[in-house]
Chains A and B, each alone.
Chain A
Amino acid sequence: MAPRRSTNKSQQRGDKYSVLLPTYNERENLPLIIWLLVKYFGDSGYDFEIIVIDDGSPDGTLQVAEQLQKIYGEDRILLRPRAKKLGLGTAYIHGIQHATGNFVIIMDADLSHHPKFIPRFIEKQKEGGYDLVSGTRYRGDGGVYGWDLRRKLISRGANFLTQVLLRPGASDLTGSFRLYKKEVLERLVERCVSKGYVFQMEMIVRARQLGYSVGEVPISFVDRVYGESKLGGNEIVSFVKGLLTLFATT
Chain B
Amino acid sequence: MTKLLEWLLGVSFVGIAWGLVTFDLLDLQLPSVCKEVAWPIPVYLLVVFGCYSLATVGYRVATFNDCEDAAKELQAQIKEAKEDLKQKGLKM
Contacts and interface: CB of A to CB of B under 8 A. Distances in A.
Query: Do most interface residues of chain A lie in helix, strand or loop, or is the interface mixed?
Result: helix
A71 B90 contact: yes
Contacts of B89: 67, 70-71
Contact of A145 (B67, B77, B82): B67
B81 A248 contact: no
B56 interface: yes
B61 A32 contact: no
Given A31-B90, A36-B81, A153-B57, A222 B74 contact: yes
B83 to A, nearest CB: 10
Q: What is the interface residue range for chain A against chain B?
A: 35 or more
A35 B4 CA distance: 46
A134 B90 CA distance: 33
A165 interface: yes
A167 B3 contact: yes
A244 to B, nearest CB: 9
Given A156-B57, A247-B2, A248-B2, A32 B82 contact: yes
B60 A156 contact: yes
Given A143-B67, A144-B65, A149-B61, A64 B2 contact: no
A145 B90 contact: no
B88 to A, nearest CB: 5
A160 interface: yes
A248 B64 CA distance: 30
B27 interface: no
B28 interface: no
Contacts of B57: 153, 156-157, 160
B69 to A, nearest CB: 8
B78 interface: yes
B67 A247 contact: no
B64 A152 contact: yes
Given A31-B81, A35-B81, A71 B4 contact: no
A246 to B, nearest CB: 8
A68 B70 contact: no
A53 B2 CA distance: 35
| The 9 A-B residue pairs with the shortest CB-CB distance in the complex, in nearest-first order | A143-B65, A220-B70, A220-B67, A35-B81, A145-B71, A145-B67, A248-B4, A156-B60, A143-B67
23 contacts: A31-B85, A35-B81, A36-B81, A64-B92, A67-B89, A67-B90, A70-B89, A71-B85, A71-B88, A111-B78, A114-B74, A143-B64, A144-B67, A145-B70, A145-B71, A153-B57, A156-B61, A157-B57, A160-B53, A220-B65, A248-B3, A248-B4, A249-B2
Interface of B: 2-4, 53, 56-57, 60-61, 64-68, 70-71, 74, 77-78, 81-82, 84-85, 88-92
Given A31-B90, A142-B65, 4 more contacts: A32-B78, A160-B60, A222-B74, A248-B2
